[in-house]
Structure 1
């Protein structure tokens, strides 16, 4: 990891060592393998995924400023390099070298990689194995549920055979995964009936679904069925279930991505023993922290929040630590598309957490041993335990 300016405050050596220890990035996506021109690069560093308005640039954001400050030295430039200089250097190095430098600078020991909307088949993004190889880390697959159902629907099973075929397909994919993940928040919203739908209801919904097999899965009955089928598979395989919450998808209705809407489902899930991990959560991280505090099987991260907020990362992490048990919190970068988001996800997490821990140490609320232990738990220990790494 690039140590230059990694921590913004002085902390005891044991705490510093814990903060700079290798991280487990328990949720990320692949990064682009091709060379990126400025227009394409800028769409990758904004949650909107669209070009900046005329006369403006996405470099004029907290993330864009952080790229120029913290990623430029990794690529051999002075801090605060202008955008044009930064992108020229990136092109000079080539995508493999630039990606490798940035991924290695994150100081990650294991990447758990979500294949994305198409299951990682489009070839534009690095696979889990490639992420690990370039980043000098172990790598495992997180299986996204919705693409599996959409592939199955295109194959044309009968409505009656749909439930069994889906269960078999999920079980097969889960055999090679460390977790299952749902993006129901982006397809419908988290305001789903928490109960497992009956077989007749599922077959009727499948009949309607199979009449339009090429469309994304948005039917609330089938999304519920997919979730509960995944729960069955996860329980059998000993896997956790990740659920996307909060912002990230510009097409999703943010008001329907609040993790509090999952309360009924999470309570119904508890008897199964399947861990539920609420991803991203921001700006609803306080609700997520509350759920982690009252439900023993619920875990939380703030994903891409620290990198997007950059210098504001300490405020987000501090609010999370106000409510959530420390053994329920994990690090993820939320990396996607640009390798810069991997490096900055890790760096802003470390810097933000350093500020939070320093404040508690300064107030005499925590001992040095407490702060070091919490840093280890959040950075890697909790993820190792929940994912059985």
Structure 2
């Protein structure tokens, strides 16, 4: 990490990670590890390795020392040491290294066994809250065989039950994956929802009907809780051009001021997200998993673009760590270094006062999230 008082303040700051996931608890061979290291496909024998990517290089550089290895340890050496320590110790070390004392955990994506919020809290020495994924709730309702004309009421009842669980602080949608954001911004009628539910019931599968996704988003508005929205890149299931948050503009006009809307990840649309945060009072953003995928060297550039015009009160920190505990440690490192470099450079150029820079660092690292999610200090 660079020098200067801003870097020192960020190094000492306990973060609020406002969007993250569980980590695996079982042993990982090389193929399994590499599959979690990338948003793409892993094809053993192809000659293409996830270790030969910016995030793979960053793991070998910055995560190896956490496991008592030399910087730039070879991949096989890294994985052997990881196996020697065992999953519990590896997870504990990286969660501790992140030094986030509050975790807001999306529990809706679990294609394999990962830690629950309470387990993460113990490993990190943190307080963990839950973020309810709305598509998961809708699909559980459909799986029970609800009649199409009862779908809307059943979905709303199930969502209310979910958000009343202790520790729930927000809801999330992955509409970017399912339909993209080029949706009619209006609330669908009851007849439209029934017709769409009938079609979904007949064909089965995951929720990808535009009318039902609109109903889901408007249900989130009615709840009054903060709504997290995946935007920008993800795995190859997404159609990136449909995940541009600027496509949400008409919907954001329709729901202006109703609930906080948090745009997650955003790359390569961090400038569009920054614009939306600048012009809509209730819109916030992070750059999430972008930071560990680009690595600490490029983190500053991504944050600089996100903050070109966005209010400093609108940027939050998240790791979006999933599967690999390394992403908790690497995401926090990249955020601290990138934001520290950005703010310290402006202080050194006398474009920003040091007290302002220190306040902005605290806002982005913790205070903005506490305000949006109505968390008490440290909780």
Q: Map of 1:1-389 to 2, 5 A cutoff? A: 7=1, 9-12=2-5, 16-51=8-43, 54-117=46-109, 120=110, 124-176=113-165, 177-213=168-204, 215-233=205-223, 235=224, 239-271=225-257, 273-310=258-295, 311-389=297-375
Q: Is the 8 A contact 1:144 1:180 kept in 2?
A: yes
CA distance in 1, matches of 2:76, 2:48: 14
**Taking structure 1 as reference, are residues 123 and 38 closer, same or farther at Cα in structure 2, changes over 3 Å only?**
closer
The CA deviation at 1:306 is 1.1
What secondary structure sits across from 2:307 in the alignment? helix
The CA deviation at 1:386 is 0.4
**Contiguous gaps of at least 5 residues in structure 2:** none
Q: TM-score, normalised by structure 2?
A: 0.96
CA distance in 2, matches of 1:185, 1:265: 14
- The root-mean-square deviation of aligned C-alpha atoms, in Å, is 1.3
Q: Is the 8 A contact 1:23 1:109 kept in 2?
A: yes
The CA deviation at 1:323 is 1.1
Runs of 4+ aligned residues of structure 1 deviating over 3 Å after TM superposition are none
CA distance in 1, matches of 2:164, 2:112: 22
The CA deviation at 1:50 is 2.6
The CA deviation at 1:254 is 0.2
The CA deviation at 1:28 is 0.8
CA distance in 2, matches of 1:249, 1:67: 19
**Taking structure 1 as reference, are residues 104 and 93 closer, same or farther at Cα in structure 2, changes over 3 Å only?**
same
